[in-house]
Copies of this chain bind each other. A is one copy, B any other.
Amino acid sequence: MQVGFIGLGAMGNAMANNLLKAGFALTVYNRTCAKADALVDKGADLAKTPAEAAQGEMVITMLADDAAVESAVFARDGVLEALSPSAIHISMSTISVALAERLTNAHRAKKQGFVSAPVFGRPEAAAAAKLYVVVAGVPEAVQRCLPLFDVLAQRSFVVGHEPPKANLVKLNGNFLIASVIEALGEAFALVGKAGIDRAQFLDVLTNTLFGAPIYKTYGGLISEERYHPAGFKAELGYKDIRLALAAAEALKVPMPLASLIATRLLTLIAQGEGHLDWAALAKLAAQEAGLGLASLEPVAPGQ
């Protein structure tokens, strides 16, 4: 099957690679084409425009944000004008619900297929084909995409017929992750100032009620204060929480905890730390508690 792939960042590159390995005929596009070199060496065709990548049966977009997707789809030489009516645009980027609605309508008007399929997972998971895909779209179109998701992910979840619903679930998931980080950040600040061993505390959590990947991953980062290099930057986290809040605003759903987290991520960014992993919400909590201020630090080593 002929598949286009637009967006070769850390995530996209790993995903495109898996599709190639699985035998798909891939046409790849990236704004800066150097990133495509390794894929082309392995047999992918290079497209000079998004439109060129959209000649086949399916085209995947895996881009950084709304603006990048808008540009790849709606601009001249974009996906929208090139895609044939029988073909499907699979949007796997984390984008706003509003943009997903606009894409749904634009493709429907052209009788093109459109499926929203954002993913959970960091670049390592993408490389290992261990992503989770959240899918929504017209059932027949979704059906055609599933074999492709099987190559990229350990599991796919179909959550509805209207594509934007998948984006809402994805953004909501990112909100839940951020809320775990914020809670852990405050808990570790308290534990740290009480002189309790941080690793021991994490051990209690992950071996009792909190034995989920999310607590292991973020608990580990926070316990060891590893905020750099970022797996997912605070400034991107802020963007996603704002998108969740925008969706909530449109549906008139007040989310006080999500608002709190947005404010705290913005604080990190305003203090010049937006490039750190969003686990650095825990750094903010520690700072606010006066931890790390030498003059205030009462806790002896080893305590």
Determine how many copies of this chain the complex contains: 4
Counting CB contacts under 8 A, is A152 at the interface?
no
Report yes or no: B252 in contact with A120, Cβ–Cβ below 8 A.
Answer: no
Known contacts A165-B196, A197-B159; is A289 also within 8 Å of B204 by CB? no
Task: Select which of B173, B176, B180, B254 is within 8 A of A263 by beta carbon.
Answer: B254
Counting CB contacts under 8 A, is A248 at the interface?
yes
Report yes or no: B209 in contact with A120, Cβ–Cβ below 8 A.
Answer: yes
Q: Which 6 A-B pairs have the closest CB atoms?
A: A212-B212, A179-B183, A252-B270, A270-B290, A253-B289, A254-B267
The answer for the CA separation of A253 and B180 in the assembled complex, in Å, is 18
Known contacts A210-B176, A259-B263; is A272 also within 8 Å of B296 by CB? yes
Counting CB contacts under 8 A, is A257 at the interface?
yes
The answer for the CA separation of A20 and B207 in the assembled complex, in Å, is 27
Report yes or no: A204 in contact with B169, Cβ–Cβ below 8 A.
Answer: yes
Report yes or no: A186 in contact with B267, Cβ–Cβ below 8 A.
Answer: no
- Contact code string A255-271 (vs B, CB < 8 Å = 1, else 0): 11111101110110111
The answer for the CA separation of A207 and B204 in the assembled complex, in Å, is 22
Known contacts A159-B197, A270-B290, A290-B272; is A256 also within 8 Å of B260 by CB? yes
A293: chain B residues within 8 A (beta carbon): 271-272
Q: How far is the CB of A287 from chain B (nearest CB, A)?
A: 8
Please list 10 pairs of residues, one from A and one from B, whose beta carbons are closer than 8 Å in the complex, sorted by A's number.
Answer: A132-B204, A168-B191, A169-B191, A173-B204, A183-B257, A190-B255, A253-B270, A254-B264, A254-B267, A259-B260
A207: chain B residues within 8 A (beta carbon): 132, 155, 157
Counting CB contacts under 8 A, is A249 at the interface?
yes
Interface size class of A (residues with CB under 8 A): 35 or more
Report yes or no: B271 in contact with A204, Cβ–Cβ below 8 A.
Answer: no
Q: How far is the CB of A158 from chain B (nearest CB, A)?
A: 8
Known contacts A177-B209, A212-B215, A259-B260; is A248 also within 8 Å of B190 by CB? yes
A215: chain B residues within 8 A (beta carbon): 212
Which of A180, A209, A214 has the largest count of B CB atoms less than 10 A from its CB? A209
Report yes or no: A270 in contact with B254, Cβ–Cβ below 8 A.
Answer: yes
Counting CB contacts under 8 A, is A23 at the interface?
no
Report yes or no: B264 in contact with A256, Cβ–Cβ below 8 A.
Answer: yes
Report yes or no: B186 in contact with A256, Cβ–Cβ below 8 A.
Answer: yes
The answer for the CA separation of A210 and B290 in the assembled complex, in Å, is 31
Report yes or no: B186 in contact with A257, Cβ–Cβ below 8 A.
Answer: yes
Q: How far is the CB of A303 from chain B (nearest CB, A)?
A: 8
Report yes or no: B191 in contact with A205, Cβ–Cβ below 8 A.
Answer: no
Q: How far is the CB of A172 from chain B (nearest CB, A)?
A: 5
Q: How far is the CB of A130 from chain B (nearest CB, A)?
A: 11
